Structure 1
Amino acid sequence: MPHFTPGAVVDNEIADSLRRQSQLSSIGKAAIMSNVVAVDTSNDHHSNKETREIRPTSHGLVPSPSIPNGLVPSLSIAHGLVPPPTLPHGLVPPIPIPHGRVHPTIPNGHGCGSHDAGSHTPSEASVGSTPSTAPGSPHLMPIRQNSGSSTPRTRPPATTLNIPGMTRSRVSPDGRIAERDVASKLVIIMVGLPARGKSYITKKIQRYLSWQQHNSQIFNVGNRRRVAASAQPGSSNLTAQIQARAKAMTNTDALPETSKVSGTMDGPTQAAHILLNGVEPSQNQESASRDHSEEPKAPMEPFDQSAEFFDPSNARASQVREQVAISTLDELLDYLLLQGGSAGILDATNSTLERRKMLFNRVKERDSKLGILFIESICEDQGLLEANMRLKLSGPDYKGKDPVTSLEDFRKRVAAYESAYVPLGEYEEKMGIQYIKMIDVGRKVIHHQLKGFLSGGIASYLTTFNLSPRQIWITRHGESYDNREGKLGGNSDITPEGRAYGAVLYNFMTQKRKDWLVEQKDKILSSSFPPQPGDNTPPYPESRLGELDEKNFCIWTSMLKRSIQTAEDFEADDDYDVKNWEMLNELNAGDFERLTYEEIEHNFPLEFNKRKQDKLHYIYPGVGGEGYLQVISRLRDMVREIERITDHVLIIGHRSIARVLMAYFMDLTRNDIADLDVPLGMLFVIEPKPYGVDFHAYKYNEESQWFDEVKDYKPHKETRKGN
């Protein structure tokens, strides 16, 4: 029988608990040991009992595990505080120690340690008395069990591809970027002089990421600057936020106090609690989200936002611009870290090296794992620059003002920025910072050290950009026999009415192709620079009369008969380039192919209700069954090809195809995609513009054998059952 020191209690519950902690690091074990010893000595002192003694085993003293140097500083018993490192959510909570009990000495030398309680005070037994060597990182990675080993995993998780609907994992069952996967999230910081197309690029990137079902948002510094500097009615709240954030930057009391823990724990107990649980979540969230409600004591005076406002030597204006930039960045970081965002885009000039350093450091202070991507837009083509300037003159800073005077002021503004402008390059490459440079909106693209699937996907997408004038037409095939019977999918022929639709479609497109060419030539001949009052439509910088004459017209169909047969008249005309694409096929209904919605509702009510509740994420059962997320994934390359080509294109597709493509070009929300109304006989045209898109809708008139334009048409959800 092993011998135990009188007064020590053998407690199987504690022994079992300690064994359950075998996966914890030596840091956690040391904290628990200190907690146990502190409770023991505290209880002894309180009850005025004789000090208990834990005698060594037959194998001698077993040293307690050491804590790496530098991780836990010495405790201050006077204040009862332990400055802790912040640990990720999800670590194993501390083992509850029954009141008045002490750690038993395990027989045969297998205990966690032996101590002479009479020779140590509580402060000497604390965790802080142990030297430390761990780095001062604010976050430690979640401890995970390696296969076949008890060594905890400390490396960060892999930041591999996440595609909603196409990938699935334990932390991300729907394929989206998980909240804990901070390293996969991305802060995109735009760089460039005014009128270089930064806002155009940001809108395209945000639209593409959102269409791919990644939560993304643009944070435009210029919009906030106009409100803050003009002190317009209703802007006091934003101005207050800017001033409060600027004050917090120089006020150390406003910084998060990671060394404070609520309650009145003694030092060792506090150490064990923090090392195992991390700082209380409420503290982190409050410090991370910051207080946006503080009102300034005095309102910000309005500024004249002429070129002088952007002069680097204007100290007061520079302070306002700096405050607005910081405030906007903090909103972006709140969105990523607290509101479920995956990518945030900071749309501003950020043309100085000092500004970019400040932004980079501020992001890393909030969370060092966040990815940062700088994207710079440069314009070397004078025609493109003039088109961008024309667009700026119709913007909010110059709206309603004389265009000649406005152009002169805008040139002075650009000159003010140029005086301190430092392009991306030497410093970023020296520091290993990832960036993308775009010259003339895609004519030339430079990548540097891109990391992560979001950065790589954005880089690939940016290479497809062009500003060539063109039209993108989208329609469904002519009526098929399965359409008449209300059946899903299938591969039936089109009806005589469907063939008539194809013939009218050919005649209408041939006429609209001619009309568009005449309209573009008139715009080029009548355009002037600087623009005259009332001249609001900027010409395409690449437009030349000869180039417009040479533009091709592509007809793209699916591999299904009803789509191919609708394009037969185009196929017979050598002036059209017809191609069949399998990726344009209708959504595959799996086991429900060629069933009606009524049959599905009657025979498979559970599946019918599942789809009704969440059409976007629903996948039809059976081999080959798809959902809308799968259609989005297979159309990714199609969208990039449409963005890349400079020719006109007519897509003769199907309901799901039309919905998904319309959602991309019209920047619709994910809630609109699966229910968008795209009936047979509707024809949509989209013209990409530097400021967005022009959109028109036409409806097939069977009686007149033509298409009638639907004025002021807005994409909307359909109300019919199923579909």
Structure 2
Amino acid sequence: MALLSAQPHSDWYTYFWLIYCKIYSAIIWLVGNHCRGADKSRVVITAGVGSQSPSGLHRVRTRRRKPQQQHRVRHIVVALARRPSLRRIVMAPGASTAHAMMEDKEKALHGALASVSLRTRRISQFAPLLIVLVGLPARGKSQLAHRLSRHLNWNGESTKVFDCSEYRRRRMALYGSHDIFRADNAQGSAIRRQSASEAVQDAVLWLKDGNSVAIFDGTNITREQRRELNDYCLGEMGFRILFIECVCEDQELLERNIIEILHYSADYKAMSEEEAVDDLRKKLEHYMRQYEPIDANLENISFARVENMGETVTAHKVAGQKESGILGYLSGMRGMPQTLYFTRHGESEYNVLGRIGGDAQLSPRGQQYAHALAEHINAVANHEPMTVWTSELRRTKQTAAEIRAPKRAVRALNELDAGICEGLTYEEMQERFPQEFAWRDQDKLRYRYPWGESYIDIMTRLRPVLTALEDEHNVVVVGHQAVLRCMLGYFLDAKLDELPYMTVPLHTIVKLTSYGYKYKIEMIKLPIDCVDTHRKQPKNCSISRTTADALVTVPSHYDTLPSNLWQNSAEAQL
């Protein structure tokens, strides 16, 4: 019974299998006829190749290159390549030559695509970037190069400027005159070409060593120079490249740039003022005769044009994350002279007790400093308008309270957050968290307090503040020790590992004055006594060190607030 009941199912299975076989046979027959019909034309074409004239062969090839037929044949070849079993069935005799030609064309096409893909992968978003400056002298190229380098280094892109003029000076014991810049001076041209080549080679070595960005500070005024640089960088080295052309039509800005060159350039130190002015004027004339501005219609390069030190910025074929960030920085840059004032808050009660962080109020001596600071800044503000930036903490606001100028509380200026160690003395930190205390001494820049911050975190939140401050003039920043260390380190282009140990004493005004791309620093100590909060790095940073070794560099402080803290040292002794 089981066998009888299973028989109908077997018959249905056999029936469907026969239908499937007939349909499959019909499909194979149709495909075979279709391909044999196409192969007949192939036989005619290939059979006559040997007897046709060259012109006839050209006509045959021309007919085969019609778009529809080429697409059809390519489709068949690709389909056959995917189904080897069908290729053996449908390939007609005599069609092997045409098929081989199509395969060669397909291989060439795939090879070209592969090379393009390889080129795209090689010059990727993560490839090093070479920035090449273009423009006449006194157009702000060096200032732009060093300011951009400082900005990129602060944002984690290891950057270095390679100044072509410095390489030229190495090859010349003493600068003679403007004649070296004449186009018809063969010896001078050779020196300048060799200097530029050495600068570029050092920039390439810098990038090969794993650094992110190199800036080539030179004139690069001819299209031939830029073409060679572009081909070498993209074709041979596989680096990204961005040209930045500096143009200056603002006469006031141009005159200031010329004055800075005359005052600070090493070429004119041995010349009188009249000789330097005449030499620089003739040097500019030589360059202007040779200058070929970047033209997007004649040069296939990626470039940005900066007019009047950031007043107008235009870009052409600029792509990439680094390049986009650079364009954003250039668009906000200004070339105006600056005077900036930095000061810590007056001495606070926590400073007296040796405690870190917190939101303490000023001590009596800190209040005295607030009065003295206001007198000093108000005297300057009588001649020029001033602006005051403070943190959101009480001690900075109290310090700036009497300054007659607009004030702005900026959260990014708040002191480093010590997390679980807020309000502790160094002695208490060593007692409660000796391992954390040792780790901080080992790498103060990158150490982050539990539930708190590190110096790197401060640098990150200060980025927009520093970018805004670069375009300001006569600003007084009343801040905190760690924050001001980072800010001063930025403008003075200090090494990152030096930031946590920079000396920023209490009751001292730090004045920065710009000249070119550098800043001159002046320390103005006001005569108000205060404690010293600076702690040097101890020599023994081991986790197993003794308490005495851990606290050897801790500055002295009071255990309690003394009642006569408002008095000066002489009165306290009496």
Q: 1:225 to 1:155 in 2, by over 3 A?
A: closer
Tell me the equivalent position of 1:327: 198
Q: 1:359 to 1:620 in 2, by over 3 A?
A: same
Shift of 1:206: 1.6
1:223, 1:665 → 2: CA distance?
22
1:281-338, Cα deviation, whole Å (9 max, x unpaired)? xxxxxxxxxxxxxxxxxxxxxxx75333222233343233222212210110111112
SS at match of 1:423: coil
Tell me the equivalent position of 1:46: none
Tell me the equivalent position of 1:393: 262
1:671, 1:464 → 2: CA distance?
28
Tell me the equivalent position of 1:405: 275
In 2, are the aligned partners of 1:672 and 1:717 still within 8 Å (CA)?
no
SS at match of 1:644: coil
Q: 1:497 to 1:718 in 2, by over 3 A?
A: farther
Residue type at the aligned position of 2:493: D
1:509-541, Cα deviation, whole Å (9 max, x unpaired)? 122445xx4xxxxxxxxxxxxxxxxxxxxxxxx
Q: 1:434 to 1:419 in 2, by over 3 A?
A: same
In 2, are the aligned partners of 1:211 and 1:667 still within 8 Å (CA)?
no
Q: 1:415 to 1:477 in 2, by over 3 A?
A: same
Tell me the equivalent position of 1:473: 341
Q: 1:140 to 1:467 in 2, by over 3 A?
A: closer
Matched, 1:443 2:311: yes
Count matched residues.
Answer: 430
Q: 1:134 to 1:485 in 2, by over 3 A?
A: farther
SS at match of 2:523: strand
Residue type at the aligned position of 1:579: R
SS at match of 1:426: coil
Q: Identity rate of aligned residues, in percent?
A: 33
What is the RMSD of the two structures over their aligned residues, measured on CA atoms? 2.8
Shift of 1:701: 1.1
- Unpaired segments of 5 or more residues in structure 2? 1-106, 539-551, 556-574
Tell me the equivalent position of 1:342: 212
1:328, 1:615 → 2: CA distance?
35
Match of 2:129 among 164, 169, 186: 186
1:378, 1:700 → 2: CA distance?
44
Matched, 1:566 2:405: no
SS at match of 1:355: helix
Tell me the equivalent position of 1:15: none
In 2, are the aligned partners of 1:213 and 1:670 still within 8 Å (CA)?
no
In 2, are the aligned partners of 1:676 and 1:716 still within 8 Å (CA)?
no
Matched, 1:628 2:481: no
Shift of 1:688: 1.7
2:438, 2:297 → 1: CA distance?
57
**How do 1:263-412 residues align onto structure 2 when only pairs under 5 Å count?**
305-338=176-209, 340-368=210-238, 370-394=239-263, 395-412=265-282
SS at match of 1:327: helix
Shift of 1:662: 0.6
Tell me the equivalent position of 2:434: 605
TM-score where L is the length of structure 1 = 0.56
SS at match of 1:615: coil
Shift of 1:556: 0.8
Matched, 1:688 2:514: yes
Q: 1:644 to 1:391 in 2, by over 3 A?
A: closer
Tell me the equivalent position of 1:177: none
- Unpaired segments of 5 or more residues in structure 1? 1-130, 142-153, 160-180, 233-303, 518-550, 706-714
Residue type at the aligned position of 1:611: R
1:382, 1:718 → 2: CA distance?
50
SS at match of 1:635: helix
Q: 1:619 to 1:453 in 2, by over 3 A?
A: farther
In 2, are the aligned partners of 1:677 and 1:717 still within 8 Å (CA)?
no
Tell me the equivalent position of 2:168: 225
Matched, 1:582 2:411: yes
Shift of 1:408: 2.3
2:554, 2:124 → 1: CA distance?
40
Match of 1:425 among 295, 300, 316: 295
Shift of 1:611: 1.2
Residue type at the aligned position of 1:336: L
Residue type at the aligned position of 2:255: E
In 1, are the aligned partners of 2:123 and 2:240 still within 8 Å (CA)?
no
Q: 1:480 to 1:471 in 2, by over 3 A?
A: same
Residue type at the aligned position of 1:402: S
Match of 1:614 among 424, 443, 460: 443
1:194, 1:469 → 2: CA distance?
19
1:589, 1:350 → 2: CA distance?
50
Shift of 1:691: 5.1
Match of 2:151 among 201, 208, 217: 208
In 1, are the aligned partners of 2:244 and 2:303 still within 8 Å (CA)?
yes
1:718, 1:607 → 2: CA distance?
15
